[in-house]
Amino acid sequence: MNAAASVEEFAPAKVNLSLKVLGRRSDGYHQLESLVVFARAGDRLTAHAAADLSLDISGAFGAMLAGEGDNLVLRAGRLLASELGREAGAHLLLEKNLPVASGIGGGSADAAATLRALKRLWDADVSEEQLAALALSLGADVPVCLDARPAFMHGRGEQIARLEALPHFALLLVNPGVEVSTACVFKTLAAPIVAELPTASEAPRFSTLDALIGWLEANGNDLEGPAREIAPVIGEVIAAIGATRGCRLARMSGSGATCFGIYASEDEARGAADAIARPGWWLAAA
């Protein structure tokens, strides 16, 4: 098979429906457990054949990354090239539609999309296990973004159980235009050190939306409290979402500040977006 001249990959937002922090490990990472889904809102990465590795960024949030001399996309490209023993040649175009530092894995999704795109562009003979190892070296959230399907994550992100199916529902994503540092959120949480790593819980199963909502009500996001201390507007966003018609659950994703609402239909999610839209807030019904 010949290498492609150009390929495109979608990098969907990663939403932590739940996020439990089990403790801080001796290696400095946190032991986590999280139910993750991917929204039909995200960035888009295009890779063109080229002699050298380069990156151009566009999109609503592209300017926020324009000043970076390096980022996860370029690091992913160089890492895969090194693994393959080849020159890192590709012209990458990133359409940045997701807010930066917003708790929905935009950078991780972009890095995963880069690995997928360059594997196709270069017609690379690299296994899924190799890609997963490369992804983990780039960041804890990158491996789950390689295959954008619902998953139950454990550990620092390396233990991933894909879920066969979830009940149909729609999401409303809302970011108030505030960046929240993940490191600061974990520092505020001050999770205790775990001497022995706990065994991964069994991946949950849900036959109905009611069952999913019930499980989520019992399994929250441990980072929401610390994030609200840093950025109190998060509480305002959650309250606004929760007050919309049809909202089944309102919560923060990841380390914030993006929050989400769960609805039975996309029409309800779009109606909620119209109801709470305000200047400076980013909203996406998906």
Can you say which residues are annotated as belonging to the binding site?
99-109
The contacts of residue 253 (CB under 8 Å, 6+ apart) are 15, 16, 17, 103, 104, 173, 221, 259, 260
Q: 259, exposed or middle or buried, with CB in 10 Å at 0-12, 13-18, 19+? A: buried
Is 141 an annotated catalytic residue? Answer: yes
Q: What DSSP string describes 31-89?
A: EEEEEEEEEEEEEEEEEE--SSEEEEEESTTGGGTTT-S--HHHHHHHHHHHHHTS---
CB-CB contact of 175 with 258 (8 Å) = yes
**Which residue in the list 14, 43, 110, 222 is annotated as catalytic?**
14
Binding residues for ATP: 99-109
Could you tell me the two tokens for 226? 């610390």
Q: What DSSP string describes 135-201?
A: HHHH-TTHHHHHS-S-EEEEETTTEEEE-S-----EEEEEE-S----HHHHHHHHTPPBPSSPPPPP
For residue 193, list its beta bridge partners: 24
Could you tell me the two tokens for 48? 């063109």
DSSP conformational letter for 250: E
Q: Rounded to whole angstroms, how far apart are CA atoms 273 and 125?
A: 44
Q: Is 9 helix (H, G, I), strand (E, B) or coil?
A: strand
Is 110 an annotated catalytic residue? Answer: no
For residue 161, list its beta bridge partners: 152
**Which residue in the list 43, 141, 147, 222 is annotated as catalytic?**
141
Which residues have a catalytic role annotated?
14, 141
